[in-house]
Amino acid sequence: MDIVIAGSHGLIGTALTTGLRDRGHRVRRLVRRDAQGPDELRWDPRAGTLDPRGLRGVDAVVNLAGASIGDWPLTAARKREIVASRTRSTTLLSEAVAALDAPPAVLLQASGIGAYGDRGDTLIDESEPLGHTFFAGVVRQWEASTAAAEAAGVRVAHLRTGIVLSPEGGALGRLLPLLRLGLGGPLGTGRQYWSWITLPDEVAAIIHLLDAPVRGPVNLVASATTNADLTRAIAVRMGRPAVLRPPAWALRLVLGDLSQEVLGSVRATPAKLAASGFVPRHPDVEAAARYVTGAG
């Protein structure tokens, strides 16, 4: 397949590019500087520039672009940038795809499990309504930005990705070093559910969805585990204690709205992914802990 990726330089995008090329696919990356070869296409979401002719003959587009939500504090200006970076890039790509005489068959569009807000221990599949947190509002606008591609008949799947676990950092970037030093532990009560997926499974799921006839929201998670159980499993594999517990009030004070994602509980199930035949390599917390700590 001939695949174009936006947001190819992040943790997921880098691994996905490698995974696709290893499987024999041609990958072209959208870049915000001058293209330096046939495998790059220039675009500028801020200026709204992307020549649709560069997408001619493409079989699929994967859009992972968007400003990081892990940077804090989340000031009003930062919040605007988080929303704008997602809606601008998605609208631009969607309209460029729709302008083609022969659009690609599929657009796989990044989204987030924060779509559902704080839902306690309720098991959540893709039929659940969106929540009312800041990040749920981001997802609402983000996913709506694919309207042009959907109207053009492109199969659009919204990748509602959970916490991506990787020894290279990612969502665990601040937590893993503390756990290695024996200074980590549950966040807040630790009873909140974190819906997660390992980086290899995230990449494999995206590649699977290039062909699987799935559209609309898709929970890209392998499982959901309480924060305490996930933290404990990783710490045990490291041979370290996990007893220090930052209180919820302190996390809210330091993180602001980002604390909604850290302390909020989303117990998502990968209903559509499982129904389409995808089987994760790391389906449970023990397998994930082995992978994150380099033991499997």
Domain limits, the chain: 2-292
Q: Give Rg (Cα) of the chain.
A: 19
Q: CA-CA distance, 282 to 167, in Å (whole number)? A: 14
Confidence (pLDDT) at 196: 95
pLDDT of amino acid 68: 80
Buried b (16+ CB within 10 A) or exposed e, 191-225: ebbbbbbbbbbbbbbbbbbbebebbebbbbbbbbb
Are 32 and 8 in contact, with CB atoms under 8 Å apart?
Answer: no
pLDDT for 75: 84
209 sits in the region (left: phi over 0; alpha: psi -120 to 50; else beta) called alpha
Q: Tens-digit pLDDT profile for the chain (296 aa)?
A: 999 999 999 899 999 999 999 999 999 999 998 888 889 999 999 999 998 888 999 999 999 998 887 666 778 888 899 999 999 999 999 999 999 999 999 999 999 999 999 999 999 999 999 999 889 999 999 999 999 999 999 999 999 999 999 988 777 766 777 777 776 777 788 888 999 999 999 999 999 999 999 999 999 999 999 988 998 888 888 887 666 666 665 656 555 666 666 778 899 999 999 999 999 999 999 999 999 988 65
* pLDDT at site 246: 64
Tell me the HSE value of 25 on the side-chain side, using a 13 A CA sphere: 21
Residue 238's pLDDT is what?
A: 83
Q: What's the CATH code, domain 2-292? A: 3.40.50.720
Q: What is the pLDDT of residue 242?
A: 66
The whole-angstrom separation of Cα 21 and Cα 26 is 6
